[in-house]
Amino acid sequence: MSNTSTRTLVLNALFVALVFLLGMTPIGIIPLGTINLTILHIPVIAGTLFLGLKSGMLLGFIFGLCSTLSAFGLSLTAPSALAAALGAKSPLLLIAMCFVPRLLVPVITWFTKIMLSGNEKRAYLADSVASILGSVTNTVFYLSLMVLFYSLAGLDVNNLIHKLGIHGLNFFGVIGVIASGAGGLEALASFFIIPPVVAALNKVKKLTFGSY
């Protein structure tokens, strides 16, 4: 195995370990009762920008796996009420809801970076925009699939919302609050954290390994 392949393998392993560690604990998937807030998109997006699309897809898969395990109560993070309700009605739809958005995150992130990266001076801007769109992709597709799958599963969503103690909002209102609140925080965190981290990683890589 060449030195380049070994380095790539090691870096992939480190990112996978980070995503899995965060994803199996309340550090990465933060329980809020009705739904869980996540920061797992941050290492997935950072890994995609730093290592490429293939590595990003692997990280997206691990993100989806952790999300699925959490939704079924198989991690240290309690499943959100909305995910648990869907899982009780249709486990397959829940699995799809956990995996599909997470696999789309690296795709949108990578192709946004490719389209915007004209030269080295624009790399930081490209990473910034890609980070935001990657985060928004996760939020929009996850919540959109939740709405779609709740309908397909025949769940009485408004009755569920009332049982959770949420009054004055219907299901779509709750989704809107989650999208603007939790989704907005996740996008802001991506914008401020990921680009400088990726820039620092690229600088360390260049100083340590040169171009490879």
What is the C-alpha to C-alpha distance for residues 85 and 104, in angstroms, rounded to an integer?
24
pLDDT greater than 80 at residue 172: no
Q: What are phi and psi of 18, to 5 degrees?
A: -65, -45
How many CB atoms are located within 10 Å of the residue 105 CB?
29
Where do we find the tokens 């599909």? 100
Q: Read off the pLDDT of residues 63-122 as tens digits, 9 standing for 90 and up.
A: 999 999 999 999 998 888 889 889 999 999 999 999 999 999 999 999 999 999 877 678
Alpha helices in the chain (DSSP H): 3-23, 41-51, 53-71, 81-89, 91-116, 123-153, 157-163, 171-209
CB 109 within 8 A of CB 130: yes
What is the C-alpha to C-alpha distance for residues 77 and 108, in angstroms, rounded to an integer?
27
pLDDT at 121: 73
What is the C-alpha to C-alpha distance for residues 207 and 196, in angstroms, rounded to an integer?
16
> Nearest CA to 42 among 63, 24, 65, 57?
63
pLDDT greater than 80 at residue 168: no
